[in-house]
Amino acid sequence: MAMDRYVITGKQRLEGSIRVSGAKNSSLPLLAATLLAEGTSSLLGIPVLADIKHMIEVLESLGCRAERQNEAMLINAGGLESCEVDEALMRQMRASNLILGPLLARYGRVKISRPGGCAIGSRPMDQHIKGLQLLGVRVKEKHGYIEAWADHLQGADVYLDVPSVGATENIMMAAVLAKGTTVIRNAAREPEIVDLQNFLNKMGAKVRGAGMDVLRVDGVGALHPAEHTVIPDRIEAGTHMIAAVMTKGDVVIENVIPEHLEPVIAKLRQAGASVTLLDDSVRVKQQGGIRGVDLKTMPYPGFPTDMQPQFMAMLSSAEGTSIITETIFENRFQHVDELRRMGAQITVEGRTAIIRGVKSLDGAFVEATDLRAGAALFLAALAAEEATVLEKVDYIDRGYEKLEEKYCHLGAKLLRVSKKGRSETPLDL
């Protein structure tokens, strides 16, 4: 597939304000949750992203009608025509597995092709499946498909071996219409789980405990459509914070919930960045150099794996040596080779990367291998001496809305070159 590239002129100081979009990782489960009720739900602040486009395509393939009206994404999940998702659609995006829970809850059956591994790791679904089976779902896996069905769902006590975000969401969404009470122990605690709980409760569900590691769901007979505004994207916000630091800029990042960014802010401050918290924005100002810091990715409220590549880009030109340990995904160091092309000095031993800070990064020809690797290279290019050509930026479209527009507004110099010869954002949702 032909992909676009960015040509980025480095060393431009970023200044001004930038507004964070709605969270991708909240929007995806919220869209899946609309399947739980007949009628039209309205979600506000859903970003225009490749992943969102794919999730809408999945919902439409099931028979939902989707329409954007100004700020609102309206999803009508009336009578569904199918409980099966085409393999080509499933392959577009892993998060389409989030339809499992809602379809089982409302229709008692679902068939999807099993999402394969992806660039950052093998990403099994055993915890999703285990949880659903405990609720009474029968599962058959054959020829690369997962087929699941149940006469009725029965509340159960589910202990997750790992606090998986997706498994917690799928089990929560299945449990809302189950008979009796479901308890999810060792549940994921991410802010996106709290957002999903809030939406489900607006639909008439009875979910408690999101944000803690024990979640309780009292099943109800039926849900109704609801309106909800998605939380701001904490990973997008964190990425902009690093951009401000790396370009020695002064940037106000608007539409943030600072509490969601605590682990990121703590590490930035430890590295010597000036971060000022305002009500729903943060100001990041950087004058001198930054210090190397060590970090380890952990489930929330630990340091997010989705910020690890961007931090590595920043630490590549920090003073001294930094150590990053990636504990969530076994293959999330693909940006290392590309950062090395820009002059970074990084060695990898298993799940640990040792980064010896260099004075500055050089422009180079580099390639995004996944979404956050792309974001990391984008940041490195903003701070590099001379120009960088960043290939395969369509990966970045998965998670960053209007990136060129937002960064040009801050003073970045970049051009998107389309392989089709155009220079525009290729999303038309």
Ligand X SMILES: C=C(OP(=O)(O)O)C(=O)O
Minimum Å distance from CB 56 to ligand X? 15
Q: Indicate the residue among 74 and 119 with the shorter CB distance to ligand X.
A: 119
Q: What HEC string does 33-44 produce?
A: HHHHECCEEEEE
In the chain, the N- to C-terminal Cα span, in Å, equals: 20
How many CB atoms are located within 10 Å of the residue 161 CB?
10
Residue 301 preceded by cis peptide, ω within 30: yes
24 annotated to a ligand binding site: yes
Closest separation in Å from C-beta 95 to ligand X: 5
For residue 198, say whether it is annotated as part of any ligand binding site.
no
Quote the Cα angle for 346-261-56, to 5°.
Answer: 95
Stretches 102-110, 157-165, 218-226, 379-387: which one binds ligand UD1 (CB under 6 A)? Answer: 157-165
Burial (CB count within 10 angstroms: exposed 0-12, middle 13-18, buried 19+), residue 204: middle
Q: State the residues that interact with ligand X by CB under 6 A.
A: 25, 94-95, 120, 306, 371-372, 399
Residue nearest to ligand X (CB): 306
Rounded to whole angstroms, the Cα distance separating 354 from 324 reads 7
246 is in an annotated binding site: no
What is the footprint of ligand UD1 within residues 114-153 (CB under 6 A)? Answer: 121, 123-128
372 binds, among ligand X, ligand UD1, none (CB under 5 to 8 A by kind): ligand X
Query: Rounded to an integer, what distance in angstroms lies between the CA atom of residue 163 and that of residue 403?
Result: 31
Nearer to ligand X, 6 or 329 (CB): 329
**Stretch near ligand UD1 under the rule CB under 6 A, chosen from 67-75, 163-171, 178-186, 403-411:** 163-171
Q: Which stretch in 4-12, 160-168, 357-365, 416-424 sits in contact with ligand UD1 by CB under 6 A?
A: 160-168
CB of 329 to ligand X, least distance (A): 8
Name 415's bridge partners.
7
Q: Segment 305-344, which members bind ligand UD1 (CB under 6 A)?
A: 305-306, 328-329
Active site residue 118: yes
CA dist 52 → 21, 272, 398 (Å): 13, 36, 8
Binding residue positions: 24-25, 94, 123-127, 306, 328
Q: Annotated active-site positions, please? A: 118
